[in-house]
Structure 1
Amino acid sequence: MMVKEVAELAGISVRTLHHYDEIGLLCPSQTTEAGYRIYSDEDLTQLQQILFFRELDFPLKQIREIVSRPEFKRQEAMELHHKLLLEKRVRLERMIETLEKTMKHEKGEIRMTNQDKFAGFDFSSNPYEQEARERWGDQAVDDSNDRLNKMSPKEQGQLGEEMNAIYRKLAQLRYGSPASDEAQQAIGEWFQMLNRMGNYSLEAFKGLGQMYVDDKRFTRNIDQFGEGLAAFMRDAMAEYADSRRV
């Protein structure tokens, strides 16, 4: 199939396919003498796999790394996609239900408790664990999981409340300088919080801040506390790390 036909079939733009080719993510099996890209059935199967990853918010760079690994098995990937998409559907259905109730609450048709308002928002799971393992090694993540697993449900709930309190504090400061005393004090609390759960060096802390912006899943979750918070935290975390290096 020609590139325009593939774009129409998959519901993406021709420019997207050109970009995939340019970065080595999906290179068509053939190119005519005139320079036209020709996609095979195998190429289309690969494109479907890529779009499943994109639907789950994987960055293009990570998709390329995953599918190019010798040990990559398509069937296993599809089984994982199926599991994650089902989980995503459940989360979306819960959030849609919460949104619909909130709309009725705003109209005075029903009354919601504070607990009702946040049904469907679940930040207790960590979908980025594998990325953390790849960046900083298994030990830091294993230490973090071990510490969390040893906490009681009450302790885990208190930890979540403390984390949200820091998010809200930083959200109030996000229009100021990330290097201000107030911002650095608050981001220092975040650094200490993370190290209660794991072992984060200053370099890892700075790298995590960059991921808050590079990975749109992080950005969406953090910016729920205030638009632009993820970028502000990245800058504040970089300042905190750089100013404390020996």
Structure 2
Amino acid sequence: MVYSITALAKLAGISTRTLRFYDKKGLLKARRYPKNNYRYYDEIEIDRLQKIMFLRLFELPLDQIRKVLDSSENVQYQALSNQRQNIIAERDRLSRLLVNLDLTLATMKGASKMNDAEKFAAFKAKAIDDNEIQYGKEVRRKYGNMVVDNSNQKFNSLSEDEMTHLQDLTKQILSMLKTFVGIHDLDQPAAKHLFELHKEFLCITWPRGQYSSEAHKGLAAMYASDPRFIKYYEEGTGKKGAAKALRAIIDNYA
């Protein structure tokens, strides 16, 4: 079946603007009627759009999606299989949150009281799952499965006070980092304090004995080169170059 751009947008639940954007990016090329040059899409483009939408579920970069779809069927199959695993992980994560919320609602209605560990277990699990989906493959390749598993186990065992402290550290790091974007003179107390805050964050979340200057610098290098970390620090500070600035500080003091 053949669809106009408006009909396909309605069918897929997206905007015609998105379809035009995909066309511009070379992701989904519309065909054209010779007489009026109107866009239309047939079965090949419809199948490709479905794959694009699956691959976009967890913010896979558009350039990477285009490379996948322009590759062999085996490459496409593997990429979609990976997304399937991500969807399963997301489903399980939401299920844990739902169970936790149901227990909270039951407690409010007079059922047995939840202990403190139960109250926050689902949120810790969600944070671990988020990190696995976003960065797990790269971090496991760099540090090994045992280190990552031990780190996840330690994070899952953190107390409520420790979790609150981590949140405070994150806010302080992002707030202080704003002032060092574009600054080259890092030999000042505030820069060293920012480094110490980041080191403290790692020592809380990493397994005992895992911290080293080399590991800290290696993580900083990943911050400055991985688009996902770059986006995190730019959004957290509101400034471009934030991840690069943090790396410079860590390299200076680690």
| TM-score (norm: length of structure 1) | 0.69
Structure 1: which amino acid aligns with 2:13? G
* Residue 185 of structure 2: aligned partner: none
Contact 1:32 / 1:38 at 8 angstroms: preserved in 2?
Answer: no
> Structure 2: how far apart are the matches of 1:80 and 1:244?
33
Q: Secondary structure at the match of 2:176?
A: coil
40 and 150 in structure 1: CA distance in 2 versus 1, 3 angstrom threshold: closer
Q: In the alignment, does 2:176 pair up with 1:177? A: yes
241 and 80 in structure 1: CA distance in 2 versus 1, 3 angstrom threshold: closer
Q: In the alignment, does 2:68 pair up with 1:55? A: no
> Structure 2: how far apart are the matches of 1:185 and 1:243?
10
Taking the TM superposition and a 5 Å limit, the aligned residue runs for 1:80-229 are 80-105=82-107, 110-121=112-123, 122=125, 123-124=127-128, 126-129=132-135, 132=138, 141-148=140-147, 151=150, 157-158=153-154, 161=158, 167-173=166-172, 176-178=175-177, 179=180, 180-181=190-191, 182-190=193-201, 196=211, 199=215, 200=218, 202-208=220-226, 211-212=228-229, 214=231
* Alpha-carbon RMSD: 3.9
Q: Deviations over 1:125-166 (max 9, x none)?
A: 52235763xxxxxxx743412552785xxx753355499577
State the Cα distance separating 1:49 from its structure 2 match: 0.8
106 and 183 in structure 1: CA distance in 2 versus 1, 3 angstrom threshold: farther
Q: Secondary structure at the match of 2:197?
A: helix
Gap regions ≥5 residues in structure 2:
181-189
Larger Rg: 2
Contact 1:191 / 1:205 at 8 angstroms: preserved in 2?
Answer: no
Q: Secondary structure at the match of 2:64?
A: helix
Q: Deviations over 1:70-126 (max 9, x none)?
A: 465444444444443233222212212222333444566552222222333324452
147 and 10 in structure 1: CA distance in 2 versus 1, 3 angstrom threshold: same
* Residue 20 of structure 1: aligned partner: 22
* Residue 43 of structure 1: aligned partner: 45
Contact 1:188 / 1:240 at 8 angstroms: preserved in 2?
Answer: no
Contact 2:230 / 2:242 at 8 angstroms: preserved in 1?
Answer: no
Contact 2:223 / 2:229 at 8 angstroms: preserved in 1?
Answer: no
Q: Deviations over 1:14-70 (max 9, x none)?
A: 111111111111112445453321101010001111111223443333322322234
Contact 1:187 / 1:233 at 8 angstroms: preserved in 2?
Answer: no
Q: Secondary structure at the match of 2:122?
A: coil
State the Cα distance separating 1:203 from its structure 2 match: 3.0
183 and 40 in structure 1: CA distance in 2 versus 1, 3 angstrom threshold: same
Q: Secondary structure at the match of 2:56?
A: helix
Contact 2:100 / 2:122 at 8 angstroms: preserved in 1?
Answer: yes
Aligned length: 223
| TM-score (norm: length of structure 2) | 0.67
Contact 2:86 / 2:133 at 8 angstroms: preserved in 1?
Answer: no
73 and 40 in structure 1: CA distance in 2 versus 1, 3 angstrom threshold: farther
State the Cα distance separating 1:190 from its structure 2 match: 4.7
Once structures 1 and 2 are overlaid, which stretch shifts more, 65-74 or 10-19? 65-74
Gap regions ≥5 residues in structure 1:
133-139, 220-227
